[in-house]
Amino acid sequence: MGPIATTISRLYGTRGWIALGAFAAVLFVVFPLLSLAVPEGHALHLSQYWVTLVGKIMCYAIVALAMDLVWGYAGILSLGHGLFFALGGYAMGMHLMRQIGREGQYQSELPDFMVFLDWKAYPWHWWNTDQFWWSALLVVLVPGLLAYVFGYFAFRSRVKGVYFSIITQALTFAAMLLFFRNNTGFGGNNGFTDFKRILGFAITTPETRMALFAVTGAALIGTLLLGRWLVKSKFGRVLMAIRDAEQRVAFCGYDTVNYKLFVWTLSAVLCGIAGALYVPQVGIINPSEMSPANSIEIAIWVAVGGRGTLTGAIVGAGVVNGAKSFFTQAFPEYWLYVLGLLFILVTLFMPQGVVGIVRKWRATK
């Protein structure tokens, strides 16, 4: 077997690849067909609502995968992953704001909120954001650099466990307060919205939406395969060993700080990419994405789906967000109770999450 064939068989067995292929077929064939080819009004037509909802959930699933890498495999519980997601979203949002051009309410070169604040020019951090490549670079670099610097100090000072979680929570809260200020230059509490186009295409047409959906689907599958490749490598086994007995790993001669820093930074970058895909689909980004509750919710997705399984992260993000969009429409006032109850039930009765239940059920069959 060549190296590619061994890698393929190392990642998934035959059944795993078939399942993944079926998933890809639904995303890349069924969805475009039902949404674009089937005429509106037909019983099988898929409305924009569903395309956007599933696209949004896939962005969340990428975040959940990123979370599972650090929490499920390396034992680092982050309660600030929403920050990295929002930063990626803001980086993309800046570009989308500049794509509006003179079509804003004030018909100015500057975004409406800057006109409103009576600013005459873009602040320094908006430099070059009219270039897509530069914004794409920011999507990766800003969350990555922040995570690297934060992680470097936290891991070197051996900040661990609940202390680490609390600091990440404080970090995202501080960032939220910063972004709420108008002076920060990110539109204050309104954030960015009213996007008109992306890469020259009108952003609300069904075709553009489907393209964004497909790119998100590809990113999700790519993230899953990357994660799977990582955890199936010796690197992944070192990560799990760090989770179970970090001191022992150090005595084996591994510099655990570098390992944690690598997976932590990678995780933040993946969140940034997810945020950048999220913003053009939902059409808004504001500081509430950085609220502590949002980041805690990410951890709940992973716990519900099953920690340390990757598939579980995707399942968890799907189940919880599916339930959320149902409940917030049917019984809006009860959603938070449902979420809390779900978390308690999962912790008590399903410590391995949905995937754990399925595995147990399969083993006894």
Partner 1 sequence: MKPSEPILMQQAAERVAEDDPAASYLHPLVPGEVDLSHGAILYLDDISVSFDGFQALKKLSLMIEVGELRCVIGPNGAGKTTMMDVITGRTRPDSGSCFFGQSIDLTRLSEAEIAHAGIGRKFQKPTIFESHTVFENLELAMKADKSVRQTLLARLSAEERDRIAETLRLVRLSDSADRVAGLLSHGQKQWLEIGMLLMQEPKLLLLDEPVAGMSDEETERTGELFLALAGSHSLVVVEHDMAFIEKIARKVTVLHEGSVIAEGPMAQVQNDPKVIEVYLGR
Contact residues for partner 1, defined by CB under 8 A: 230, 233-235, 237-238, 240-241, 244-245, 247-256, 258-259, 262
Nearest distance, CB of residue 216 and partner 1, angstroms = 26
Nearest distance, CB of residue 235 and partner 1, angstroms = 5
The residues, ordered by sequence, that sit 6+ positions from 96 with a Cβ below 8 Å of its Cβ are: 192, 195, 198, 203, 279, 280
Nearest distance, CB of residue 229 and partner 1, angstroms = 9
Could you write out the three-class secondary structure of 2-39?
CHHHHHHHHHCCHHHHHHHHHHHHHHHHHHHHHHHHCC
Question: Which residue has tokens 């909802």?
Answer: 53
Nearer to partner 1, 267 or 294 (CB): 267
Q: Is 201 left (phi over 0), alpha (psi -120 to 50) or beta?
A: beta
Nearest distance, CB of residue 280 and partner 1, angstroms = 32
Amino acid in the structure at residue 107: Q
Nearer to partner 1, 157 or 204 (CB): 157
Tokens of 234: 């010796």
Nearest distance, CB of residue 7 and partner 1, angstroms = 10
Nearest distance, CB of residue 327 and partner 1, angstroms = 36
Nearer to partner 1, 170 or 252 (CB): 252
Q: What spatial distance separates the first Cα and last Cα of the chain, rounded to whole Å?
A: 34
Question: Which residue has tokens 């900040």?
Answer: 159
Nearer to partner 1, 141 or 230 (CB): 230
Nearer to partner 1, 234 or 362 (CB): 234
Nearer to partner 1, 175 or 238 (CB): 238
Whole-Å CA distances, 176 to 82, 170, 171:
10, 10, 9
How far apart are the C-alpha atoms of 297 and 82, rounded to whole Å?
9
For CA atoms 333, 335, 336, 342, the dihedral sign is positive
Nearest distance, CB of residue 203 and partner 1, angstroms = 38
Nearer to partner 1, 159 or 323 (CB): 159
